[in-house]
Amino acid sequence: MAFDSLSDKLQNVFKKLRSKGVLTEDDVKEAMKEVKRALLEADVNFKVVKSFVKSVSDRAVGEEVLKGLNPGHMVIKIVKEEMDKLMGSEMTEIKLRPSNEITIIMMCGLQGAGKTTTAAKLAYQFKNKGKKPLLVACDVYRPAAIKQLQVNGEKVGVPVFAMGDNNKPLDIAKAAIQHAAKNNINLVFLDTAGRLHVDEDMMNELAEIKENLDIAYTILTVDSMTGQDAVNVATTFNDKIGIDGVILTKLDGDTRGGAALSIKAVTGKPILYSGMGEKLTDLEPFYPDRMASRILGMGDVESLIEKAQSAIDEEKAKEMEQKFRKASFDFNDFLDQMAQLEQMGGMQEILSMMPGMASQMKNVEIDENAAKTPKAIVLSMTPRERSLQDPISPSRKKRIADGAGVQIADVNRFLKQFEQSKKMMKQMSGMMGGKRKRGGFK
């Protein structure tokens, strides 16, 4: 997972700090030396590391901290606050123009950074917020890029405007805006051409579009796996054409973290979103404080709650509670629960957001496939079996096992577990009901 190594090292420094009742200036200096080394190894920009360590040290060696009640904790708190600040403190939201106007967003970046994918992800997020987006294929150098945008657009249900590869990007963009005006579209994403490296032609082309059109946001996509290069690319784009924000992709991989921690500090431009996977739903707003919590191994409870809220349908949750209470939970309900868990990103992702869990879980490979066996077993049942109307006889067990590609013993084990969890749910909901009756539980 991203930031693993950095997280580990910082947590070791913190452990030492916490274990000391009294802290001297030298203890803080020693700890800061280790923090500095960890950040440099994570490929954080050298100047950023220097000024970060200085800010933390200046605040940490003061009397108030060292003579305070819990100096170790105070120092950790300061590290957290300074790290939030480094990444911009507040989440930066893209503000669109009023619905009756067209907001034009120009997406730029090097080839392979994830620009086309990210354009579709963003369009999808705004479509879900009630906007009417259009994706525009301005990459005329790679016919495959046009096709890719069309495929992605189709997947997220957003129209794609393309004119093949015989027109200038600026002309395509102009035509797309006219098309948008006629078709009640209020958000236009220009998917511009990337190159393997920063080059003059690419910059001139982007500058030309920017000069001639009323671009509301110029968003740069960079690949977090490229570390310092990502920061250099952001600096060059910002100097040459001016950017409004960055989307950092591939944070789901095992990137060391340098780009996430350096971009805002070096370029002055915020990270707007992070790409968390190849699926078109894998894009998350970038919250500096939550990211700092994750990096420091403090978990990210807020994001976990948000994920749960968006994956769990409230009506369904109420219905489920009733079922637990009456112990009428059947195999269909089980399938629903599995689907919600999957929507939340699977067990590994969920655990990585829990405080203290990320480091403990790092070497544990959660077998997401293990959860697929019970699902396959349920899917091999008939509708009547799933709703508990038909008892599952031995011959039915054999049929189910064959259908799911497992042994009869696996089916037996699953059925036993299912009965046990039903019993437990009944007891638990009994306890909750009891509390509620006494009026103490809401």
The C-alpha atoms of residue 409 and residue 412 are separated, in whole angstroms, by 5
Return the number of the residue (273 or 324) whose C-beta is nearest ligand GDP.
Answer: 273
Annotated binding residue 249: yes
Return the number of the residue (71 or 275) whose C-beta is nearest ligand GDP.
Answer: 275
Say if CB 131 and CB 154 are below 8 A apart: no
Rounded to a whole number of angstroms, the minimum distance from the CB of residue 159 to ligand GDP is 18
Tell which residue, 399, 413, 281, has the closest CA to residue 344.
281
The C-alpha atoms of residue 423 and residue 430 are separated, in whole angstroms, by 11
Annotated binding residue 116: yes
Say if CB 119 and CB 158 are below 8 A apart: no
Rounded to a whole number of angstroms, the minimum distance from the CB of residue 283 to ligand GDP is 7
Annotated binding residue 251: yes
Rounded to a whole number of angstroms, the minimum distance from the CB of residue 270 to ligand GDP is 18
How many Å from the N-terminal Cα to the C-terminal Cα in the chain? 38
Return the number of the residue (239 or 278) whose C-beta is nearest ligand GDP.
Answer: 278
Return the number of the residue (278 or 319) whose C-beta is nearest ligand GDP.
Answer: 278
Q: Would you say the C-alpha torsion 314, 319, 325, 329 has a positive or negative sign?
A: negative
Annotated binding residue 194: yes
Token pair 């990444």: residue: 87
Annotated binding residue 375: no
In the sheet that holds 215-223, the strands lie side by side as 160-161, 133-137, 187-191, 103-109, 215-223, 245-249, 271-275, 283-285
Say if CB 80 and CB 73 are below 8 A apart: no
Annotated binding residue 112: yes
The C-alpha atoms of residue 228 and residue 205 are separated, in whole angstroms, by 25
When CB distances to ligand GDP are compared, the closest residue is 275
What one-character-per-residue DSSP string does 101-164 give? S-EEEEEEE-TTSSHHHHHHHHHHHHHHTT--EEEEE---S-HHHHHHHHHHHHHHT--EE-BT
The SS3 call for residue 272 is strand
Return the number of the residue (192 or 293) whose C-beta is nearest ligand GDP.
Answer: 192
| DSSP code of residue 163 | B
Rounded to a whole number of angstroms, the minimum distance from the CB of residue 61 to ligand GDP is 40
Rounded to a whole number of angstroms, the minimum distance from the CB of residue 300 to ligand GDP is 17
Annotated binding residue 290: no
Give the pairing of strands 160-161 and 215-223.
unpaired
Rounded to a whole number of angstroms, the minimum distance from the CB of residue 198 to ligand GDP is 14
Annotated binding residue 346: no
Return the number of the residue (109 or 169) whose C-beta is nearest ligand GDP.
Answer: 109
Annotated binding residue 191: yes
Rounded to a whole number of angstroms, the minimum distance from the CB of residue 157 to ligand GDP is 18
Return the number of the residue (245 or 277) whose C-beta is nearest ligand GDP.
Answer: 277
Say if CB 170 and CB 193 are below 8 A apart: no
Binding site for ligand GDP (CB under 6 A): 109, 111-117, 148, 194, 221, 249-250, 252-253, 275-278, 282
| DSSP code of residue 224 | G
Give binding residues for GTP as ranges: 109-116, 191-195, 249-252
Give binding residues as ranges: 109-116, 191-195, 249-252
